[in-house]
Homo-oligomer: A and B are copies of this chain.
């Protein structure tokens, strides 16, 4: 029903939709807003306050999940019963929640857009209680998807054109994180994931062959390899480091010879431990000398963008990488300092002045201009009604709860991302910590609004 009414895409089952995924204070505040009739239009924007030292840019992600959450927003009877019984909502609030659905507007950057601190990537315009209700979950969805997409983009830059597969589900922070990390990684340019549910939910290509447990469950490593190859003739990538990696590579060669008559070929090997630069060269030599020149070498184990760049800089003959934990938890920057802030209420711009947490007020837009070679040259943060030169990055997505057009498919969003990454300057592409010199200018109109609000306070 909500799909029909609001035109959203099919709701992804593996991502929680319950509106109880919120902070209690959203309900206590709503109750007071309703009691006092404070139901005029509010404008909230999501932005990141500052870059982690280890990031030079961010990649927006999670819009599809936000739209699905909002388009399907409703309370189940048992949720309302529980809220009332526990005293978390008075009868006026219960009545409101019983009929609530999303009637607001969304403007947002398309998924996979490069952005910088203070730039809103999503704006929600809705009656104050409604915009407040959804704060916690909108934050949760945009924060995590953006966190991982921003990390994965760096891995893609480091790996150049090598195959990249997400291996991180087991140490991602829960199932939703595992599935959404796979999605963010694919958006950012990964080729696939090991996470089965991400394949089913998002159509992301799946990769996977064997673990060490498979090898050591067999009496002899060669038995494990042969058994596997005969059972999976089209997906024969052997994990060769359970005992001795070079010896494992030699067994792969011997197995290929043994299987020659059967039409089964060894497509590749995987290394998951040890000095991958040295071992990959040794393995490559053994495969080449053994007639397996077209078999690929795939590497995994504690990898991230720095490890991959170092391996490629050493000329390691590795054709693909499995990247797991360090990407799926964004280990070097496991959270972003992001916020979803009230910028306007009842037509008036608002500004908090808590120490260290001042915000740019009003309904904002970001304009980007490019240099002659197509690279990004600078952004301008301004008010929505103050057009600037360049490309406006926030675009209308929903109006009064209705999707204006279908969201891009994940494949299309992935292409958009690749185009965005190609427009990064050389400085922005660096993986080392260091200040970005990318200019984000504040428009005179926005500066003037700040002065006006502060002098009136």
Contact = CB atoms under 8 A, between A and B. Distances in A.
Interface of A: 14-16, 18, 20-29, 31-33, 35-36, 38, 42, 44, 79, 82-83, 86, 88, 128, 132, 135-137, 139-140, 143-144, 147, 167, 169-181, 194-197, 199-200, 206-218, 227-228, 231-232, 235, 241-244, 272-275, 325-326, 329-331, 334-336, 338, 341-342, 345, 350-357, 457
A211 B176 contact: no
Contact of A350 (B18, B135, B200, B217): B217
A36 to B, nearest CB: 5
A8 B192 CA distance: 36
Contacts of A140: 169-172, 174-175, 178
Contact of A173 (B218, B329, B342): B329
A14 B207 CA distance: 28
B353 A175 contact: no
Taken together, the copies of this chain in the complex come to 2
Which interface residue of A326, A329, A354, A356 has the most chain B CB atoms within 10 A?
Answer: A354
Contact of A355 (B38, B83, B210, B274): B274
Contacts of A26: 208, 211
A27 B176 contact: no
Minimum-distance CB pairs A-B, first 10: A24-B208, A174-B176, A173-B173, A25-B208, A16-B175, A173-B177, A334-B334, A274-B355, A273-B354, A213-B342
Contacts of A169: 21-23, 136, 140
Contact of A217 (B170, B272, B342, B354): B342
B196 A22 contact: yes
A24 B326 CA distance: 20
Given A241-B355, A354-B242, A176 B16 contact: yes
A86 B199 contact: yes
B171 A173 contact: no
Contacts of A232: 28, 31-32
